[in-house]
Amino acid sequence: MAMPTATSTLLMTGGSSGIGRKAAVCLLREHPDQHLLLLVRGGRADRIAAELAAEAGSDHVSAVPCDLASLTDIRGAAKEVIRRLDAEEIPPLHVILGNAGVQTVSATTTTVDGFEMTFGVNVLANYTLLRLLSPKLVPPARIVIVGSGVHFADFRHNLGMVPKPNWSSTDQLAMPSTAPRAGGF
């Protein structure tokens, strides 16, 4: 049976491992008319795309290298996505699925740009991608940002490894902590 031609693109972060990878395979299998474009950290983009294509039995998958802890990488990836869309190498963009995220046990870890890592990857990366790519979204478009329960900061949700939420201004949340081990760990 021939595979249908892809008519739309879903851009996904966090699809290279774990639950995100399982979701990526399901998306490829359940939506054979949709192209899955992954943003993948490191030099693994082509390998991850090939593995997913083989696992899902779909040719409608490709990847762009992007470290979400680097605003330069995010801007470069968005530029490459826009180039592929404009060159009609991939179908029109209809969905952005922000699935990637990090959980650090200390607020002292930073992104390449000096932002606190959890804020930088889980919030700032999604915001930047959306600002850069939203003009390319074609109706009916969907934006999905996945969150987690680790912010509860209790033993049941994260084994007590993550500090309690810090309800502060965005400026304060973006700055790394100067404590040796944030959260008292």
Q: What is the mean pLDDT of the chain?
A: 87
pLDDT, tens digit, 9 for 90 and up, residues 3-50: 778 999 999 999 999 999 999 999 999 999 999 999 999 889 999 999
pLDDT at 156: 63
**pLDDT on residue 167:** 61
- Match 């932002």 to its residue by tokens: 115
pLDDT at 159: 63
- Residue 155 binned pLDDT confidence (cut-offs 50, 70, 90): low
Provide the whole-model pTM.
Answer: 0.84
Q: Kindly tell me if the per-residue pLDDT of 182 is higher than 60.
A: no
User: Does 72 have pLDDT greater than 90?
Assistant: yes
- Does domain 8-148+155-184 fall into CATH 3.40.50.720? yes
Please report the pLDDT score of residue 161 as a whole number. 62
Phi-psi region of 52 (alpha: psi -120 to 50; beta: other; left: phi over 0): alpha
**In the chain, where the domains are located:** 8-148+155-184
pLDDT in tens, 134-150: 999 999 999 999 986 65
